[in-house]
């Protein structure tokens, strides 16, 4: 094969357009396109290349660099990590705007390729506009901020260096145990420099994603632990969904009767009405799952990172001799909680374990108890769906109304505030991809940008973005991108005039909702929950704000109006925002659980002293799982 003379940016764009992944014999293109916002740091390099090669790799124009990384992450999650976007930015603020997006992708183990522009490799015109200079280190730029939040980080100092950098990027992006944000910092002069690239580098390349299995000895020991257990339980995490292991999980559960709790990323692993499905587990868990967890003597984690929300800050599992078996493609996670590590693909490992467990079933009474408590839980969901509160309605009723209206294959999207916890408890999942709550980084502002990524990955599904007023204020501009590209979202803007989740948390630590209201300052105060005459509520009108961005807006005041609005929205072909005020103080309860948020050890406030006392008691339930 010969060579082609291309700029470094042209070569990279052509390379990206030709990357494919294959799993289970199905090949698909890895990059659905490149998002970007141009500035002097990329307009003439990557920008020019994207224009010249537009028929190979589509360029999408975002409104905010952080948002476009969220869109790429959400796309990757919906595609079970078998596809994503590249994201190009200028230097300086455009680049660092992506740092939060990178952290989100890496925490959630989602592949995204970030191409921040960088200062001149030649250093001739230094300091260039937006360059941060370091007096002690000539190699530093703001792009070094990406190092701790990237799974692979490189800087391309010479055009031919595109070759090893791009190959390393693909290795990490397609490695199921290693994947996350990959950052290739791209100096603006190098982007435009030419080199004779080998045609072989630019040819179609397929990255094979296998289904590795743990060793037979480890599998045998895991099966023996399950057989010895009296109250085994499974906790399904995001890995169960990414590896498309939900059918395999159901078969194991139906063969053995082991009940299943779900993490935020793992919700949807089981249909909500399966008799062995206990629903959400942990700090935002159901009483069904949390009771099972408390007494479990063996816990099989499937594709979970064991965050504090799942373990209720290590108080969820109280049986003195509780042991863990961790099925995880990442060795790092498989060893958590001193677990027996089954390092492997979730689907292949569950299938192998099902074989090892032939003939084993939990005691009938244990299985029946799970089914009974699970039915009891569903009655609690029904109660909260139909509370008859207000107007304004409760958030639980809004969730219930959207869930009841939506089709099984539709997708709900959320990330931060009080809704993720309420959705974790209350959303009735009927499809493994129907629940998309980003709770690894729980990043306010992810919702709309993420919803766009979901819709781009699954245009055949209706996407319901549930977003709080606080999250909406942080990042709403991708409404514009959704309209520009014709990807319709139904955004349910749940407005409680402030940060209700943190308000409730603030009350629980003795701080009376300090700093969580949208009010004028009055007598030095921005408003407290118990204040008798706080400042007026600020005249914020988010519905009109959404209208100004081009969305069709429907204002709903009651549950009945919300139902009508959802029906009306279904027939609209562009992004719709349904604005619905809810009662900030009518929250969904927590169920027999704990979350460790340290309370001030000394204070002149009586409410804080009282909260600290309760906190010290609750914390005693924390266990090390050794
Ligand atoms: C970017 C970011 N900043 C801060 C937080 C901390 N935080 C979590 S929820 C929340 C308030 C969210 O307000 P809203 O979207 O209105 O939801 P609500 O709590 O009212 O349900 C804050 C500040 C966060 N998760 N993400
Ligand atoms: Mg709010």
Look at residue 450 in the predicted model and tell me its pLDDT.
98
The pLDDT, as a whole number, for residue 164 is: 98
What is the distance between the alpha carbons of residues 137 and 118, in angstroms, rounded to a whole number? 15
pLDDT in tens, 375-429: 999 999 999 999 999 899 999 999 999 999 999 999 999 999 999 999 999 999 9
Q: Which residues surround ligand 2, an ion (CB under 5 A)?
A: 468-470, 496, 500
Please indicate whether residue 497, judged by its CB atom, sits closer than 6 Å to ligand 1.
no
Quote the ligand 1 centre to 470 CA distance (angstroms): 6
**CB neighbour list of residue 324: distance below 8 Å, 6 or more residues apart:** 298, 299, 300, 301, 336, 337, 338, 339, 340, 625
Residue found under tokens 């124009």:
61
Residue appearing with tokens 């290349």: 49
pLDDT higher than 90, residue 1: no
Ligand 1 neighbourhood includes 470 CB (under 6 angstroms): yes
Residue 363 has pLDDT above 90, yes or no: yes
Q: What is the pLDDT of residue 520?
A: 98
- Residue 285's nearest CA partner among 310, 260, 308, 303 is 310
Mean pLDDT of 522-537: 96
Residue range 321-344, pLDDT digits in tens: 999 999 999 999 999 999 999 999
Task: Please name which of 358, 393, 336, 426 lies closest in space to residue 565, comparing C-alpha atoms.
Answer: 393
* pLDDT score, position 96: 98
Residues 6+ apart with CB under 8 A from 256: 226, 232, 354, 357, 360, 361, 362
| Probe residue for ligand 1, chosen from 104, 416, 469 as the CB with the greatest number of ligand atoms within 8 Å | 416
Cα 293 from Cα 498, distance rounded (Å): 34
For residue range 559-585, list pLDDT tens digits in order: 999 999 999 999 999 999 999 999 999
Find out whether the beta carbon of 174 lies less than 6 Å from any atom of ligand 1: no
**Of 115, 16, 130, nearest to 68 (Cα)?**
115
> pLDDT tens-digit profile of 213-246?
999 999 999 999 999 999 999 999 999 999 999 9
270-275 mean pLDDT: 97
State which ligand 1 atom lies nearest to the alpha carbon of 473.
15
Mean pLDDT of all residues in 169-175: 98
CA distance 148 to 152: 9
**What pLDDT is recorded for position 129?**
97
Confidence tier at 64 by pLDDT (50, 70, 90): very high
% of the chain exceeding 70 in pLDDT: 100
Cβ-contact 92, 145 below 8 angstroms: no
Ligand 1 pocket: which of 104, 417, 492, 585 to mutate (most atoms <8 Å of CB)? 417
Ligand 1 atom with minimal separation from the 441 CA: 25
Q: Which pLDDT tens digit goes with each residue over 441-467? A: 999 999 999 999 999 999 999 999 999
Kindly give, in sequence order, each residue whose CB lies less than 8 Å from that of residue 546, ignoring residues fewer than 6 positions away. Answer: 476, 479, 491, 493, 553, 577, 579
From 439, 499, 506, give the residue whose CB has the most ligand 1 atoms within 8 Å, as the site to mutate: 499
Ligand nearest to the CA of 471: 1
Ligand with an atom nearest the CA of residue 419 = 1
Q: How far apart are CA 489 and CA 480, in angstroms?
A: 11
Which letter does DSSP use for residue 159 in this model? G
Residue 449, pLDDT score: 98
Pocket test for ligand 1, best of 99, 102, 470 (most atoms within 8 A of CB): 470
Ligand closest to the CA atom of residue 496: 2
Note the pLDDT of residue 551. Answer: 98
Residue-wise pLDDT for 81-106, tens only, equals 999 999 999 999 999 999 999 999 99
Burial of 527 (0-12, 13-18, 19+ CB in 10 A): buried
Query: What mean pLDDT, rounded, does the chain reach?
Result: 98
What pairing do the DSSP bridges indicate for beta strands 3-7 and 194-198? antiparallel
Angle made by CA atoms 352, 355, 358, in degrees to the nearest 5: 155
- Give the ligand whose atoms come closest to the C-alpha of residue 501: 1
Q: Model pTM?
A: 0.98
Q: Which of 48, 346, 5, 16 is nearest to 197 (CA)?
A: 5
Asked whether residue 484 carries a pLDDT value surpassing 90, the answer given is yes
Nearest CA to ligand 1 atom 17: 417
């Amino acid at each position: 094969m010969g060579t082609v003379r291309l700029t470094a940016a042209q070569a990279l764009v052509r390379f990206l357009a030709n990357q494919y992944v294959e799993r289970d014999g199905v090949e698909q293109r890895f990059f659905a396109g490149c998002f970007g916002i141009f500035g002097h740091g990329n307009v003439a390099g990557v920008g020019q290349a994207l224009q010249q090669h537009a028929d190979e790799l589509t360029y999408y124009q975002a409104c905010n660099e952080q948002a476009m990384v969220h869109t790429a992450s959400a796309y990757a999650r919906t595609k079970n990590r078998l596809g994503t976007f590249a994201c190009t930015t200028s230097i300086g603020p455009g680049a660092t705007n992506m740092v939060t997006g990178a952290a989100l992708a890496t925490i959630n183990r989602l592949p995204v390729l970030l191409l921040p522009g960088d200062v001149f490799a030649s250093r001739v015109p230094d300091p260039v506009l937006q360059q941060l200079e370091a007096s002690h280190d000539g190699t530093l730029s703001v792009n070094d901020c990406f190092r701790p939040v990237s799974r692979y980080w490189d800087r391309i100092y010479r055009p031919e260096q595109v070759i090893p950098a791009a190959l390393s990027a693909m290795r990490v992006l397609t490695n199921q145990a290693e994947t996350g944000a990959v950052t290739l910092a791209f100096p603006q002069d190098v982007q435009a420099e030419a080199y004779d690239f080998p045609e072989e580098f630019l040819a179609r390349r397929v990255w094979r994603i296998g289904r590795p299995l743990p060793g037979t000895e480890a599998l045998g020991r895991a099966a023996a632990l399950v057989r010895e257990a009296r109250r085994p339980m499974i906790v399904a995490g995001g890995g169960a969904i990414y590896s498309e292991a939900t059918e395999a999980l159901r078969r194991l559960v139906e063969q053995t009767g082991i009940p299943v709790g779900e993490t935020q990323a793992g919700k949807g692993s089981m249909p909500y009405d399966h008799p062995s499905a206990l629903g959400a587990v942990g700090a935002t868990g159901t009483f069904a799952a949390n009771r099972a967890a408390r007494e479990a003597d063996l816990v099989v984690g499937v594709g979970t990172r064991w965050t504090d929300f799942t373990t209720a800050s290590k108080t969820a599992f109280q049986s003195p001799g509780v042991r863990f078996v961790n099925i995880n493609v990442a060795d790092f996670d498989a060893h958590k909680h001193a677990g027996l590590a089954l390092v492997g693909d979730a689907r292949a490992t569950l299938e192998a374990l099902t074989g090892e467990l032939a003939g084993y079933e939990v005691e009938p009474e244990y299985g029946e108890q799970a089914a009974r408590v699970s039915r009891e839980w569903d009655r609690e969901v029904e109660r909260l769906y139909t509370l008859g509160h207000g107007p304004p309605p409760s958030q639980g009723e809004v969730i219930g109304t959207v869930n009841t209206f939506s089709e099984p294959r539709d997708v709900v999207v959320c990330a931060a505030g009080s809704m993720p916890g309420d959705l974790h408890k209350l959303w009735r999942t009927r499809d493994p991809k129907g629940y998309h709550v980003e709770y690894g980084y729980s990043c306010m502002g992810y919702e709309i940008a993420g919803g766009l990524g979901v819709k781009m990955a699954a245009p055949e599904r209706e996407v319901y973005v549930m977003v709080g007023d606080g999250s909406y204020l942080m990042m709403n501009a991708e409404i514009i991108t959704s309209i520009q590209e014709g990807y319709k979202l139904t955004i349910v803007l749940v407005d409680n005039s402030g940060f209700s989740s943190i308000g409730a948390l603030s009350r629980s630590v003795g701080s009376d909702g300090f700093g969580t209201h949208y009010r004028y300052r009055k007598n030095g105060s921005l408003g407290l929950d118990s204040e008798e005459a706080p400042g007026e509520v600020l005249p914020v009108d988010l519905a009109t704000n959404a209208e100004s961005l081009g969305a069709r807006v429907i204002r709903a005041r009651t549950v009945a109006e919300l139902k009508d609005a959802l029906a009306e929205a279904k027939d609209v072909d562009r992004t719709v925002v349904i604005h619905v005020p809810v009662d900030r103080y009518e929250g969904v309860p927590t169920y027999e659980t704990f979350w460790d948020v340290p309370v001030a050890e000394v204070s002149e406030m009586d409410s804080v002293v009282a909260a600290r006392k309760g906190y010290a008691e609750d914390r005693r339930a924390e266990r090390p799982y050794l």
